[in-house]
Structure 1
């Protein structure tokens, strides 16, 4: 009986070792072959999965990309004037929006416009930029502020790529608050 047990253990051991050698280039059984080998299509080749047969698809007409908000005012003087008159801040004036507006202002605007919006930022003090306007000296509205943040104006470049639409409106809200404090 002991010999049969030893022979069985030896056979199991030899069988286990023999499974480690063999043809490794041949894969085992595949229960879901699409999971192992996906069908990849080149960018401009035909693709039978779409009705037009093309791999590259355009977005559905009338839709916008996630995170992009359409802005109808052009980067012209007419667009600036139209935004100045028509554009209104959709956000509610509250502490959260003002706090984030201040945070974004401190990152992107304070170096030129200064802490109070008087146009006396560090770069102006070091004579890097001259003629940065004081908020109280200009006839600005929330629409004109947003438009300038969006497209830039004169020496100021656009900040649309650094700030989301919501953050632009929050900065606009904070600039309006600074302007109100300067006018007192």
Structure 2
């Protein structure tokens, strides 16, 4: 009788172990059958463009209902009406490329000054630093077209700013879209910095 009970105990124990193993195994890792601490495994803190709905099926878990989310599959909402892109701080100039260089020559006031973004002295100070990093190697520290590359005969035909008909708008246009042998510097300088450099170039021209 003792052996019979012993064997029954072993069988029951093996069944428990087997069921535990089967229960813990799950092929779909995105939807595990058992999670030890679901509130930590599935955080309710949303990440941009993530699915706002948890994959963990638990009756006790609260069901998140956010009908405003785009197709209910992303936690990133569309920007509100009137939002301006960080790469387009001055929407009045967003079509300057289509209007062309001649149009940009009519822009004689720096929008940073018009919009009270910075004082002119600050713009020139910051523009000088940016100019020395990105522009002086070709155009020269004084804007005379005698940068180090020109002096070493690596490039030719760099003009003196004083000899050119320039406005802050035309300078911005060329920095943004390039002209002749000069490529666009839009990837090196953001929109605000391009206006700063443009103001500093005008400072050198009128110096």
Name 1:63's counterpart in structure 2: 83
Q: Deviations over 1:88-128 (max 9, x none)?
A: 30234533221111100100000010011111111111222
Q: How many residues matched?
A: 153
Name 1:100's counterpart in structure 2: 126
Q: What is the CA-CA distance between 1:27 and the residue it aligns to?
A: 7.1
Residues 1:94 and 1:74: Cα distance change in structure 2 (over 3 Å): closer
Name 1:35's counterpart in structure 2: 40
Name 1:112's counterpart in structure 2: 138
Structure 2 SS opposite 1:52: helix
Distance 2:146 2:188 in 1: 23
Q: TM-score, normalised by structure 1?
A: 0.66
Distance 2:94 2:102 in 1: 13
Name 2:102's counterpart in structure 1: 81
Residues 1:143 and 1:46: Cα distance change in structure 2 (over 3 Å): same
Residues 1:131 and 1:73: Cα distance change in structure 2 (over 3 Å): farther
Pairwise CA RMSD of aligned residues?
3.4
Moved over 4 A (4+): 25-28, 43-49
Distance 2:127 2:143 in 1: 13
Structure 2 SS opposite 1:85: coil
Q: What is the CA-CA distance between 1:135 and the residue it aligns to?
A: 0.5
User: Mind listing any 5+ residue stretches in structure 2 that lack a counterpart?
Assistant: 1-23, 25-33, 54-64, 114-118
Q: What is the CA-CA distance between 1:38 and the residue it aligns to?
A: 3.7
Query: Which of the numbers 129, 143, 150 marks the counterpart of 2:176?
Result: 150
Distance 1:133 1:109 in 2: 13
Distance 2:111 2:127 in 1: 14
User: Mind listing any 5+ residue stretches in structure 1 that lack a counterpart?
Assistant: 1-24
Query: Which of the numbers 75, 88, 111 marks the counterpart of 1:90?
Result: 111
Contact 1:73 1:82 survives alignment (8 Å): no
Deviates more, 1:84-93 or 1:142-151: 84-93
Name 1:164's counterpart in structure 2: 190
1:116-135 counterparts in 2 under 5 A? 116-135=142-161
Residues 1:170 and 1:118: Cα distance change in structure 2 (over 3 Å): same
Ranked by relative contact order (alpha carbons within 8 Å, sequence separation 6 or more), the top structure is 1
Residues 1:162 and 1:63: Cα distance change in structure 2 (over 3 Å): same
